[in-house]
Every structure is written in structure tokens, then in C-alpha cells.
Structure 1
Amino acid sequence: MVASLLRMAGLDWPVPDYSTLCRRQKTLAVQIPYRRADGPLNLLMDSTGIKFLGDGEWQARKHGAQGRRQGRKTHLTMDTATSDIRAVEFTPSRDGDSPVLPDLLEQIPDGEPIGSVTADGAYDTRRCHTAIIERQATAIIPIRKSGRPWKEDGPAAVARNDILRATRHFGRAFWKRWTGHHLRSHVEARMRCLKAFGERIASRDPDRQTAEVHIHIALMNRFSALGTAEIVRVA
């Protein structure tokens, strides 16, 4: 079918078979396209779980789990200006969110300034705040409800304590509106777009799984470049 479509398009391209694609997928380095934003980047971060073994949600609810379910965790970093995914990490499901944030920021070239990094309370750690300050960016991360002031032994701790004082004085709801933390819902929508490719990933090998997820994200960025919906607030 693919070969016939290429012939109709007037393209003399070879079409590899499925076994060739599976064999080469393990070492495939996917280049994720993205559009360069004007000005400093405002990044949104979040993670989601993706299954690669086990029954789907509907089948498990109707018939019960038939076997062991396994999954992986995908961490995404989205640019608010272009809606493109700028960084991605693929980790075991047992890994937390906060240790991955420095690796995500390292995928952003040093020549691109970062204005802000927005994430949820799971990223309220010294490692995350330090990594954000090192990129001369502003952290928009709500403090956990059980959070306490940190010893101000560096710029990261000072910036984090400022957030804590602001949320205690004005309230968490006002702080979120004031800082634009609600924009984090945009990256959650991108998570749903990622899962639209399928309820699970087909590959079982970790390297092949990483390549499969990178291909999906590359397609998502291509779709965004073709056109995105304009969201207008209605009073």
C-alpha cells in the first residue's frame, strides 16, 4: 500500500518491510523538529505513563486484569509560544518526576534563553530549583502543602522561599492566577495528543520504545507546525 501511494505521488522511493524497520528501530536516532520561538522560552513540564504490556483500561474493568501490566513514564517539555515539544525523557515508571528536570533542561541549547519553567508541586526540590536558576530562568512551581522554608544558602533557596511567602500571603489560588500557572493545562493536553497514537506502545525493548515515542513526538510537532487552534477566552 505504501509503495502504491509513493508511485501515485511520483516518488521513486524504496519502501522497507516491517522486519527491517523493527531491526533498525533500536539504533534509530530521531531528530525531533521544532520551531524557534521569539524571545525567551516559557516552558511547561509534566509526565504521563504509557503501557507496553498488559490489558487496556476498558478490558481490565470489564473482565479483570489478565496478567501483569507494565508501563514506562514519558516526561515532556513544551514551549508555550509554539506548542512544540522541546525536550523528552523516557524513564521506568518507578522513577520520579523531579530528577528528570535537569536532563530536560540540558536538551535546550545554551544559546536559547529560558524565561520561566512551569511545573506542578512534584518538582519542588532543591535539584529542580537549582537547575532552573542555573539557566537564569524563573521557577513557577507551587510549594507543597507541607512545604517549609529552606535554609537560604543559595539563589535557588531564596527564589523558592519567595514563592512560599507569596503563596502564604496571597493564597495559592491568587498566586497561580498571578503567575499564569494555569497554562500548565496546555502540556496536559499534549499528553492526550501523545496517547492518541495508541493506548500503548508496541515495542518491548527500551531502546525501541524510546525511538517509538520520539517518532510520535516528531509527528506531533509536525502537526503543530501545520496549524493549531486559537483559544479565545469568552467572558
Structure 2
Amino acid sequence: MPYKFNASRRHKFVKPRFRVTNWSEYNESLRRRGDVTVWISDAVAHQWAADRRTTRGGQAKYSSLAIETCLTVRVVFGLALRQTQGFMRSLLRLMKLDLVVPDFSTLSRRAGKLDFEQLKQQAKSEPVHLVVDSTGLKVFGAGEWQENKHGTAVKRRSWCKLHLGMNLDTGEILCSDLTEESAADPTVLPDLLDQIEGVVASFIGDGAHDGDPVSNELQHRFEGVEVITPPPKNAVPSPKAESAPTQRDQHIATIQNEGRMAWQKQTGYTQRSRIETQMGRYKQVIGNKLKARNIKTQRAEAKIGVNALNIMNALGRPTFEKVS
């Protein structure tokens, strides 16, 4: 990914070409993503009803797994809550299962109370190469046609910020969070790192993650982690740069001596474009809007979308080889 300061002379660089080497397998994985032969496993059917509670209070009728299953169908097929209830009702009828589908109001009420511990990634034996970025999801987006066609008053748009952390080796989204649009990326990073079990070998983030707070947080959690964040053009080395240079000091020296493009290639910062591709894939497959109305249910909707996207990616991913 070329640095933006070189955009005016980007045409002088030859764009590399790549070729997909597993077209047949990848095409089949894309077909399976749209397969409507959805089925409910016996394990889910047996856990459809909620366990009896031992504390005081009302007894839940449906388990969290049942609610999550219905909401996953809603996110994948882009349904409203009432249509989700009808879809699941017909599915259980085809399977001849004597189960009751949660009504749309129950799905809406229970969505914000789901516990997503089961979405936490399992510890991996090999270190993780993590890349983090964020994008915006629209919450209120009606009125564009009336504004452009009829010149009606401009309505305020509301956005939420989706933060994603991806494993560069597997393309799997390891951590995610949804915040208000005013939340800064470095403040969300500790919550993202809490979702990762295992060792992080390297971390790649954009310029918003540059600074001591992010670097100290990563080095405190993961010993020997390589932090790759682009320093600004007016960055200066630390006072101890000559005697005990930090990773940031080394990055600044490399940029000053060899240029920012060379630094990107040496450090592997160009791999950050893959998380931007993953965010585009999320908006293309899951959608760029949130149907939920409050932040708790919106977070649940985003978590379910991330989990569904990971399942789709596990069906098959393209492999490339450089042609020229």
C-alpha cells in the first residue's frame, strides 16, 4: 500500500500482478456461502431450552444458543426480526423438530444480553501476526434520495465504529468491538487484546496507533512484540536514541535514511491493506448498516456478523502467486 505522500507520483511505479492458483476450490467456497440448505445440528436442538436457574427471578424459556442461532440467520440473510422468526419457524417445520421459535420481541430484548465468550479465539501454538484497523457502520441512513432529488433538509447521520483485529497468516478476525464514532482507536486496543489468547509476535496499525501508550500496552502484554506503526513526518527520535534506541527510533531512522516507501517494504507495513480488504468484505457480505437501535444490541449484531464472516472465510480462501 503506497504511502499517501507519494500518491502524486504513484503512476511511475509498476503495479504488480497476481494470479489465483486455486480457482476451482475458491469458486466452490463462494457457492457454499450462498447455500440455503441450512440445518440445525442435534447439539443445538438439545440445548434450545434454557437451563433451570437456581437464583431468584424469572425463568428464561430459550437458551442463549437459541437466540444466537436465530440472530445469526438474521445477519447472514439480511432479514428483519419478524422475517427471522418466520424463517426459523419454517426451518424447524421442515426438520420436524418440536421446538418453539423465539418471537421477534424476545430476539430484540435478549440480543443485548448475549455472552460472546464462545467467540473468543482458542490459544494457538504459533505466534499471531496481528493487524488492527477500524471502519464506520451506518446507524441512521434514510433520506439520501429525498435530499438529492427534492432538496429536503439534511438529516444528521449517525455512525458506529467497528474495530477489527485480523491474523495475517490465516485471515481470521481474532478480535472485534463496536464503539461510538467518537472513540479513538488507541483507547479500544486493550479491549481488543483481551480477546486474544496466545502470543502476538507483531502488531501493525495505522498512524493513530503511533505513540508510547500503544507501544507500552503491547510490550507489557507480549514480550518481544514488534510494533509497526508509521511515525508522522515531523517525528523526532527519543533522547536515548543513540544509546538505547526504541523500535520507534529505528523506524524514524530508516525513514530518514531510506525513505518511507522503503520502510514500508522492510517492515511489512504494506500488509495493512489486508485488514482494509477484510473490512470491505464485511460491508459487502454482512452489510454497511446496523439494524439494531441501541449500542448493546448493535454490539451483538456486529459480533455475530464477525463470527459469520469467519465461518464463510473458513470454507475457502484464494491463494495467489505473483506474475509480474
Q: TM-score range by the shorter chain?
A: 0.7 to 0.9
User: Shift in Å at residue 7 of structure 1?
Assistant: 3.3
Query: 1:18 maps to what in 2?
Result: 104
Query: 1:122 maps to what in 2?
Result: 208
Report which stretch shifted further, 213-222 or 84-93.
84-93
CA distance in 2 between partners of 1:218 and 1:173 (Å): 35
User: Shift in Å at residue 61 of structure 1?
Assistant: 5.3
Query: 1:52 maps to what in 2?
Result: 139
The structure-2 alpha-carbon separation of the partners of 1:67 and 1:56, relative to structure 1 and needing over 3 Å to count, comes to closer
8 Å Cα contact 1:37/1:81 also seen in 2:
no
Query: 2:306 maps to what in 1?
Result: 217
CA distance in 1 between partners of 2:213 and 2:316 (Å): 36
Matched, 1:95 2:161: no
- Structure 1 spans left out of the alignment, 5+ residues: none
Q: Which amino acid aligns with 1:7?
A: R
User: Of residues 199, 211, 214 in structure 2, which corresponds to 1:113?
Assistant: 199
Matched, 1:7 2:96: no
**TM, length-normalised to structure 2:** 0.65
The structure-2 alpha-carbon separation of the partners of 1:62 and 1:15, relative to structure 1 and needing over 3 Å to count, comes to same
8 Å Cα contact 2:207/2:232 also seen in 1:
yes
Query: How many percent identity over aligned positions?
Result: 35
CA distance in 2 between partners of 1:85 and 1:126 (Å): 25
User: Of residues 158, 168, 185 in structure 2, which corresponds to 1:70?
Assistant: 158
User: Shift in Å at residue 32 of structure 1?
Assistant: 2.2
**TM, length-normalised to structure 1:** 0.88
The structure-2 alpha-carbon separation of the partners of 1:169 and 1:211, relative to structure 1 and needing over 3 Å to count, comes to same
Q: Which amino acid aligns with 1:5?
A: L
User: Shift in Å at residue 107 of structure 1?
Assistant: 2.0
Matched, 1:191 2:279: yes
CA distance in 2 between partners of 1:81 and 1:15 (Å): 39
Matched, 1:161 2:249: yes
Q: Which amino acid aligns with 2:126?
A: G
Q: Deviations over 1:195-224 (max 9, x none)?
A: 222231011211111101001001011111
8 Å Cα contact 2:92/2:98 also seen in 1:
yes
Q: Which amino acid aligns with 1:121?
A: G
Query: 1:205 maps to what in 2?
Result: 294
Whichever of the two has the greater Rg, that structure is: 2
Report which stretch shifted further, 78-87 or 27-36.
27-36
Q: Which amino acid aligns with 1:39?
A: E
Report which stretch shifted further, 198-207 or 144-153.
144-153
The structure-2 alpha-carbon separation of the partners of 1:73 and 1:4, relative to structure 1 and needing over 3 Å to count, comes to same
RMSD: 2.4
